[in-house]
Amino acid sequence: MNNVKVFVLLAGMTAIMGMLGQALGGQSGMLLALLAAGAMNFYMYFNSSTKVMKAYKAQTITREQAPELYGIVDKLRQRADLPMPTVGIAPQQQPNAFATGRNAEHAVVCVTQGLLDMMSEDELEGVLAHELGHIKNRDMLLQTISATLSGAVTVLARFGLYSPHQGEGRGSPLGPLLALLAPIVAMVLQFAISRSREFKADAVGAEISGKPLALASALNKMQQIAQRRPMDVPPSVAPIAQVNPLSGFRGLSGLFSTHPSTEKRIARLQAMAASNG
């Protein structure tokens, strides 16, 4: 059901892209908009991990540089039946983690220095298993596509609003209205996809580590510290972090939140632990 929901959300975002292109430039505008989205997805598919690592100021490390961290990732990825990912550390003191890369064979699992300093070994395993859950679920590709489509809608909308040809009758009279509303709707859909995949990664990560309560404890710590100490990263890369690294603002009814409620995530993990005895 989760995967069906994500497919529907992505289809909705693509439809918005096409409608906006058609409203601004007719049939040719719709075709150009969809082609542009495809080209941007292709580019981001191969370059997203480099851009994300740069945004977090992260560096890749070897087994010799961080043997304990590397060993935990290696142990968990074997349980998950995944190739060994590249391991990275970001210098931020806020405890957090993320996974990036175009597929399991080119994946990166990165933690912040704050996470290494503040978590117990069990909590660290829970956090890393969550990120491996993203890799196993192919969430990095979904997040790249949704972020690219959302960005393409925003760029197209700005072009439509400020184009010297706007108002010359080449597109629909609804063009300006769509140009104003489409980026907001696309962002809401992007964030809905992100929230949906976090729940799924929690469940898979808890299965990989066998420690749902340790992950719940880590989430609670990360959320509390993130609210007191926002991370200095661009908002565009916030959705891939395990908890929202920014101020924790949830927006109207959670629609504009990049992450689901931490309380709900913890409650689900506690229920999973109870059901497993």
What SS3 class is residue 185?
A: helix
- Long-range contact set of residues 45-51: C-beta below 8 Å, sequence gap at least 24: 45/102, 45/141, 45/144, 46/102, 48/100, 48/101, 48/102, 48/140, 48/144, 49/100, 49/101, 49/102, 49/106, 49/108, 49/140, 51/237
Q: Is the pLDDT of residue 1 over 50?
A: no
- Average pLDDT of the segment spanning 161-171: 49
First to last CA, the chain: 26
Give residue-wise pLDDT tens across range 220-249. 999 999 999 999 888 878 888 999 898 654
- Please state the rounded mean pLDDT for residues 120-134: 97
Q: Which of 123, 125, 131, 198 is catalytic?
A: 131
Q: Could you tell me the pLDDT band of residue 108, with boundaries at 50, 70 and 90?
A: very high
Count CA atoms within 13 Å of residue 29 on its CB side: 23
- Residue 167 confidence (pLDDT): 47
Give yes or no: 131 in active site: yes
121 has a pLDDT exceeding 60: yes
Instruction: Please report the pLDDT score of residue 173 as a whole number.
Output: 58
Looking at per-residue pLDDT, the higher value among 160 and 45 belongs to 45
Give this prediction's pTM: 0.78
Q: Is the pLDDT of residue 20 over 70?
A: no
Percent of the chain with pLDDT over 70: 68
Give start and end residues of each alpha helix (H) in the chain.
2-55, 67-79, 113-118, 121-136, 139-162, 175-209, 212-228, 262-275
Choice between 29 and 81, residue whose per-residue pLDDT is larger: 81
Q: Per residue in 45-64, pLDDT tens?
A: 777 788 889 999 999 999 99
